[in-house]
Amino acid sequence: MPQHVAFIMDGNGRWATQRGWRRLRGHSAGAETVRCVIRCCRDFGIRYLTLYAFSRENWSRPQEEVSGLMTLLRDHIVKQEHELHENHIRLRIMGQREDLPADVVRELERVEAATARYDRAHLILALSYGGRTEIARAARLLAERVARGELEPQQIDEAAVAASLYLPDVPDPDLIVRTSGEQRISNFLLWQSAYSELYVTPVLWPDFREPDFRAALEAFAARSRRFGGVEAKPLPKEKTC
């Protein structure tokens, strides 16, 4: 079982347009999948769940869609708070939170603070998130420490960069699932995904349910994670070619 699963929740727009509906209806349906996936993680014993909910690039979408998504986000946080407490889930945000509307940030930070004491499970929302922005921000933070004389340039290594990311205590994702069939990373967790297993399903996010999650976990269980090393396997007895 992976300790950390991250989702690129994709396909809401297509799910709605296939039905002749507005894209926002797809986002509302996708919010139901979020509830389902949180429950699955609780039942499967997955400690860290990261959801890519809004990228920095998503700000370029039509204003109506962006504001609809922000309203949906705020309403959902309020609706789900009870379930977070019930299941001792800590809500955490990664991304440029200052880009978000003030009322959304207020609600998110209130729930972040209210659930900060929980450690059984972590729900991480990537909001106004971009992997390149995160790495550039880490570089800036390190440069500022050098300028203040707190750090020598020679001390900047992988561990120092990792410690300057948004959530340094969170382990790298073991598994990254992308729905809707697109085979790209779209600026998600560029640093942390170095050795993550990738799983792409054609299922659109609003249709993604427990059996689809199980299929992803089964595929993960069948993978051989070598981290650049070699797998200790006995040699075959006979020549195979």
Kindly list the catalytic residues.
Answer: 10, 58
Q: For ligand IPE, which is the closer residue by CB, 55 or 133?
A: 55
Residues in 143-202 at the binding interface with ligand IPE, rule: CB under 6 A: 180, 182, 184, 186
CA distances from 119 to 84, 91, 115, 166 (A): 11, 10, 9, 18
In the bound state with ligand IPE, the residue whose beta carbon lies nearer, of 142 and 216, is 216
CB 68 within 8 A of CB 27: yes
Shortest distance in whole angstroms from residue 146 CB to ligand IPE: 33
Residues 58-77 that bind ligand IPE (CB under 6 A): 58, 69
10, 107, 134, 197: which one contacts Mg ion (CB under 5 A)? 10
Q: Is the dihedral of CA 185, 161, 92, 90 positive or negative?
A: positive
212 and 35 Cβ atoms separated by less than 8 Å: no
Q: Six-digit token pair at 147? A: 């300028």
Among residues 9 and 46, whose Cβ is nearest to ligand IPE?
9
Strands 175-178 and 48-55 turn out to be unpaired
Question: Is residue 225 a contact partner of residue 213, using CB atoms and an 8 Å limit?
Answer: no
Q: Report in angstroms the alpha-carbon separations of 20 from 9, 23, 25, 29, 149.
A: 21, 9, 10, 14, 59
Closest to ligand IPE by CB, 21 or 88 = 21
- Smallest gap from residue 82 Cβ to ligand IPE (A): 24
Stretch that binds ligand IPE, among 40-48, 50-58, 108-116, 147-155 (CB under 6 A): 50-58
- Decide: is 8 part of the binding site for ligand IPE (CB under 6 A): yes
Q: Identify the helix (H) or strand (E) that includes residue 119.
A: none
Footprint of Mg ion on this chain (CB under 5 A)? 10
Footprint of ligand IPE on this chain (CB under 6 A)? 8-14, 52-55, 58, 69, 180, 182, 184, 186
